[in-house]
């Protein structure tokens, strides 16, 4: 018995001293891409999870009570910002009953801060243009460069909340940026032959990728954001594509594949399913493998060698 008490006295301080090692920052995000960046930047000090799955439309995440429960004890919440999650986050965040991650606190992060936002509406904003985002196009995570901005931002936030590991967060963010720069060079070379090529996308969530790699956006399968295409519009778009020689229709796993394939079929083009979010398709487990797969699928389809169905 005495030896038990003695060993308790010996081990207790050791256990207490090591306790902070288990005190990871629990990070929750709106999007899988943000969770991937948060995990890279946070390393062993952070456990990151996304509420929206990669194969789920980030505009329409059902505000399930289980999502509220899953972030009840989070230390940080990273929102995509620019109102991409504006339909469901106003229910999920208060429902979590977690004061640490409410807007206005240190634990709430708007990941769009510092990003060069494209397609900011000029003049009056009207839903006559469909379900547009008044603060600009929120799909900035489709540009690898923007994720570098997010990584830097998250390193600052994590350092503020966990100063003991600030050096690790800064080093991880730097490593992320270096890896992204190296990868960008590789992706840039793969996409270089297709600069100036026109493509059609289902929704305007390819704008940042196209801007980065020099693709031209010819149109969208949706006549307006959030509005499903009518047969008449599908015909019109296909005819226009034929005349302009547009050969690729790009869509995400959560969009209507039938409409995309119908447009491609009528235009004599190829429909390519791609993941613009991490986890959208097999083999897209982090932001690097996502862009690897995305660039590879597009380059293959644009070269006419692989990808999609004609």
**Contact status: 121 vs other proteins (CB under 8 A):** no
Shortest distance (Å) from residue 231 CB to other proteins: 13
Shortest distance (Å) from residue 257 CB to other proteins: 9
Backbone angles phi, psi at 300, to 5 degrees: -60, -45
Q: Cβ distance 151 to 217 under 8 Å?
A: no
**Contact status: 97 vs other proteins (CB under 8 A):** yes
> How far, in Å, CA of 304 to CA of 197, rounded?
13
Q: Which range touches other proteins (CB under 8 A), out of 6-14, 19-27, 85-93, 287-295?
A: 85-93
**Contact status: 293 vs other proteins (CB under 8 A):** no
Q: Which residue has the tokens 């690729």?
A: 248
The strand ranges marked E within 46-180 are 46-50, 76-79, 108-110
Nearer to other proteins, 103 or 188 (CB): 103
Alpha carbon separation from 209 to 22, 49, 98, 191, 280 (Å, rounded): 38, 24, 35, 11, 16
**Contact status: 195 vs other proteins (CB under 8 A):** no
Q: Cβ distance 236 to 250 under 8 Å?
A: no
**Three-state DSSP class for 199?**
strand
Quickly count: other Cβ atoms within 10 Å of residue 110's Cβ.
Answer: 15
Residue in 24, 47, 49, 64 binding other proteins, rule: CB under 8 A: 64
Q: Which range touches other proteins (CB under 8 A), out of 5-13, 114-122, 135-143, 251-259?
A: 251-259
**Contact status: 203 vs other proteins (CB under 8 A):** no
Alpha carbon separation from 159 to 36, 53, 100, 108, 143 (Å, rounded): 18, 27, 16, 14, 25
**Contact status: 256 vs other proteins (CB under 8 A):** yes
Residue in 43, 103, 188, 300 binding other proteins, rule: CB under 8 A: 103
**Contact status: 253 vs other proteins (CB under 8 A):** yes
Q: Which range touches other proteins (CB under 8 A), out of 66-74, 138-146, 148-156, 175-183?
A: 66-74
Nearer to other proteins, 7 or 72 (CB): 72
Residue in 98, 201, 205, 297 binding other proteins, rule: CB under 8 A: 98
**Contact status: 53 vs other proteins (CB under 8 A):** yes
Give 35's contacts (C-beta < 8 A, 6+ positions apart): 27, 28, 29, 48, 49, 50, 78, 278
Binding site for other proteins (CB under 8 A): 53, 55-57, 59-66, 68-69, 72, 86-88, 90-91, 93-99, 102-104, 127, 130-131, 226-228, 253-254, 256
């Amino acid at each position: 018995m005495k030896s038990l008490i003695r060993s308790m006295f010996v081990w207790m301080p050791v256990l207490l001293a090591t306790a902070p090692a288990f005190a990871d920052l629990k990070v929750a995000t709106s999007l899988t891409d943000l969770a991937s960046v948060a995990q890279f930047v946070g390393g062993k000090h952070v456990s990151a999870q996304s509420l929206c799955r990669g194969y789920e439309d980030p505009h329409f995440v059902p505000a399930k009570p289980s999502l509220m429960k899953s972030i009840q004890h989070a230390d940080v919440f990273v929102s995509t910002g620019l109102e991409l999650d504006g339909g469901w986050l106003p229910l999920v965040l208060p429902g979590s009953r977690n004061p640490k991650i409410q807007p206005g606190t240190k634990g709430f992060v708007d990941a769009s801060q510092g990003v060069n936002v494209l397609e900011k509406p000029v003049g009056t904003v009207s839903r006559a243009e469909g379900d547009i985002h008044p603060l600009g196009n929120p799909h900035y995570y489709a540009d690898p460069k923007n994720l570098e901005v997010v990584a830097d931002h998250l390193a600052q936030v994590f350092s503020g909340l966990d100063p003991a590991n600030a050096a690790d967060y800064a080093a991880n963010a730097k490593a992320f940026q270096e890896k992204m720069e190296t990868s960008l060079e590789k992706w840039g070379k793969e996409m270089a032959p297709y600069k100036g090529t026109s493509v059609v996308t289902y929704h305007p969530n390819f704008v940042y990728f196209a801007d980065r790699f020099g693709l031209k956006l010819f149109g969208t399968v949706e006549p307006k954001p959030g509005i499903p295409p009518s047969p008449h519009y599908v015909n019109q778009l296909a005819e226009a594509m034929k005349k302009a020689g547009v050969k690729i229709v790009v869509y995400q796993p959560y969009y209507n594949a039938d409409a995309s394939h119908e447009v491609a079929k009528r235009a004599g083009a190829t429909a390519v399913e791609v993941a613009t979010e991490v986890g959208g398709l097999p083999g897209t487990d982090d932001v690097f493998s996502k862009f690897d797969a995305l660039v590879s699928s597009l380059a293959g389809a644009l070269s006419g060698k692989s990808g999609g169905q004609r």
